[in-house]
Amino acid sequence: NAGVTQTPKFRILKIGQSMTLQCAQDMNHNYMYWYRQDPGMGLKLIYYSVGAGITDKGEVPNGYNVSRSTTEDFPLRLELAAPSQTSVYFCASTVPDDYGYTFGSGTRLTVV
C-alpha cells in the first residue's frame, strides 16, 4: 500500500517554463488537496477536489491549474513558472469525516 505518491521529488525550472507535479493515491480517498510550504509560512492550500471531475480553488490558486479525471490522480500544473513559485509542494488525501490527511513526501521546486 503506497499511500500518496508524488513525483518528481526535486525539480529546477527556468522562468516561463511549464511542468506538471504528479500526485496519486491508492486508498480510494475522495478528497485530495495541494498545499505549498514556504519557509516560516506554514502550508497554504492551492487547490482541492472532493471527487473525480470536481475541483475548486484554495487560498493561493494563482499560477496553477488542476484536474481530477480519476479518483486516484490529482496533478498540479504550473503554466508559466515564476520565482515566487519556488516552494515545497505537498499533495494530501482523506475521506469524509476523517480529519487525518495522508500526505505525500513532497516535491521541492526551484524556479530560476
Partner 1 sequence: DQQVKQNSPSLSVQEGRISILNCDYTNSMFDYFLWYKKYPAEGPTFLISISSIKDKNEDGRFTVFLNKSAKHLSLHIVPSQPGDSAVYFCAARQIQGAQKLVFGQGTRLTINP
90, burial (CB in 10 Å: exposed 0-12, middle 13-18, buried 19+): buried
> Identity (one letter) of the amino acid at 85?
Q
Stretch touching partner 1 by CB under 8 A, among 14-22, 67-75, 76-84, 87-95: 87-95
How many chain residues interact with partner 1 (CB under 8 A)? 27
Q: Quick one: which of 13, 34, 104, 111 contacts partner 1 (CB under 8 A)?
A: 104
- Taking the CA atoms of 98, 43, 75 and 62 in sequence, report the sign of the dihedral they define: positive
Rounded to 5°, angle at Cα 9 from 78 and 7: 65
Q: Which is nearer to partner 1, 66 or 104 (CB)?
A: 104
Cell of residue 109, nine digits: 521546486
Q: Which is nearer to partner 1, 14 or 39 (CB)?
A: 39
Which residues here bind partner 1, judged by CB under 8 A? 4, 31, 33, 35, 40-45, 48, 50, 56, 58, 90, 92, 94, 96, 98-106
